[in-house]
Amino acid sequence: MILNPKKGENGQEINLNGKNVALKECLGIRHVQILMVFLLTFISFGMKVNLSIGIVAITDDKVNPGIPTFHWNTEEKGLLLSAIFVGYVLPQIFAGILAKRYGSKWILTFSMGFCALFTCAIPKSAEFGVWACILCRFLQGLCQGFFFPCVHNLISLWIPCNERSTMGSFIYSGCTLGIVIGMLLTGELSASIYGWPSAFYIYALFGFIWMFVWAFIGESSPKNHKNISIEEKLYIINSYGYSCTDKSKKILTPWKEIFISRPFWGLLIVHCGQMWSYFTLMNELPTYMNTILKFDIKENGVVIALAYFVAWIASFPFAIGTDFIINRKMLSIGNARKIATSIGLFGPAIIFLIISGVDDLTTIKVVVLIMTGLSMNSATLSGFQLNHIDISQNHAGTLMGITNSCANLCGIITPIIVDIIVVDEYDPTQWDEIFLLSAGIYLISGMFYIAFGSGEIQEWDKI
């Protein structure tokens, strides 16, 4: 089949049997897939944080009299909050292999369905005791552990190389926006006449709706989508520069080659460094703002939500700028990723050093610095976060599974480290040590990535 050259609205062309074929659609099937995956990350992070906010109402009968509450101690609440991370890290590598072998569509469909089911079960499970609730959170995490490896697999197959930074960052920015909306929505629902259970029911509903829509319109690859045009399909496939392995065949994972690969280790270290400080802020910032900056609970939630919202907005210019630099060939893919990552890690590290080293900072200045740090950190979405796909089209989901499982162990470790260092929550000098530790980890992991990272497809990807 040979198509004659046509002029498209966006001027992009593909080659089919020696002929240039214009891509007519400014908006195509790939954008529908991208929007759905963005909603997946948005909903999943709302499910993650709604307990972090809702646990106040769950354990305090003064928040909403008439709604059932449960008197769990500090240790039980800590186990409840960390249970989702324990479940989350377990299936990551397995999920990447499954997505590579069978495609991501139905894995995401069923994992979101079960995640919504366990979210819906939390209010009822609380009546049976804290351990029933912990089990539900663990199973939520187990389901969500399939998400990111599958998302990376979808990005590697659905997003053309010249759109990867912008569209990939848009997808993962759903995590940040999910935190913002999840915090605000959970707070409002917990204080309403419907009480804290409604926050879990509404997110379960979101999950079920997403599952049914995705089952009808989602697809693992443009090669398998029934409604995609031949022009758009070939525009996506030809953008990679070489053919990915046929997904109908068994794909062997080159484990030895991966684990002796310097670019892989660069990714692993920087991912762990990023998530260490990210989890430290996400878990401990509310306490710091309450005990040191003297914000009450209501002000705390608004300020933190605003900080993450500003970070979500900031992710877009970083993503667009990274794609611009790559597409104009101003820098190589690897160097563009390193610059974005450097902004996202070294910028916040400097800010943490300022907060810990300057004694006379006002509350407003500290809040502005934290917002600036979170905003700069969003550059990592167009940096190392997408680098798995740059170095391996065929094994991107597996690579994400490995690095993400290791990185998310920090969600379990960081609260323990903070508890060891911060003995007195009202002592600012102990919090300064936390900021210094986070800055050091950012700097070391960022320099490691600059030294060992790459933007080139590795030879072991073609094995």
Q: Is the pLDDT of residue 5 over 80?
A: no
Q: If you search the block for the tokens 């980890």, which residue do you land on? A: 441
CA torsion sign for 72, 178, 174, 293 is negative
Residues 164 and 325: their CA atoms lie apart, in Å, by 12
- The H or E element spanning position 21 is strand 19-22
Of 372 and 66, the structure prediction assigns the larger pLDDT to 372
Looking at residue 250, what is its pLDDT?
A: 62
Residues 446 and 443: their CA atoms lie apart, in Å, by 5
For the chain, give the mean pLDDT: 86
pTM: 0.85
Average of per-residue pLDDT across 137-161: 93
Q: If you search the block for the tokens 């563009």, which residue do you land on? A: 336
Contact 384, 270 (CB under 8 A): yes
Looking at residue 376, what is its pLDDT?
A: 96
pLDDT band at 249; cut points 50, 70, 90: low
**For residue 383, what are the contacts with CB-CB under 8 A and spacing of at least 6?**
322, 337, 338, 339, 340, 341, 342, 343, 344
Of 226 and 238, the structure prediction assigns the larger pLDDT to 226
Looking at residue 456, what is its pLDDT?
A: 92
**For residue 144, what are the contacts with CB-CB under 8 A and spacing of at least 6?**
44, 47, 48, 84, 87, 88, 111, 115
Residues 191 and 200: their CA atoms lie apart, in Å, by 14
Looking at residue 7, what is its pLDDT?
A: 37
Residues 16 and 24: their CA atoms lie apart, in Å, by 15
Looking at residue 113, what is its pLDDT?
A: 97
Q: Indicate the length of the chain as a whole number.
A: 463
Q: If you search the block for the tokens 């000098």, which residue do you land on? A: 429
Q: Residue 354: what are its φ and ψ, rounded to 5°?
A: -65, -45
Top CATH class of 13-250 equals mainly alpha
Residues 220 and 33: their CA atoms lie apart, in Å, by 9
Residues 88-107 have pLDDT tens digits of 999 998 899 999 889 999 99
Looking at residue 3, what is its pLDDT?
A: 34
* Topology match between the domains 13-250 and 252-463: yes
Q: How far is CA 267 from CA 159, 272, 273, 303, 445, in A?
A: 21, 9, 10, 32, 9
Q: What are the domain boundaries of the chain? A: 13-250, 252-463
Contact 108, 147 (CB under 8 A): yes
Looking at residue 23, what is its pLDDT?
A: 54
Looking at residue 299, what is its pLDDT?
A: 74
Options 3.30.565.10, 1.20.1250.20, 3.90.226.10, 3.20.20.70; which CATH number does 252-463 get?
Answer: 1.20.1250.20
Residues 326-344 have pLDDT tens digits of 999 999 999 999 999 999 9
Per-residue DSSP letters for 401-429? Answer: HHHHHHHHTHHHHHHHHHHHH-SSTT-HH
Range from 46-55, 257-266, 279-288 carrying the lowest mean pLDDT: 279-288
Contact 62, 190 (CB under 8 A): no
Q: Is the pLDDT of residue 246 over 60?
A: no
Looking at residue 441, what is its pLDDT?
A: 95
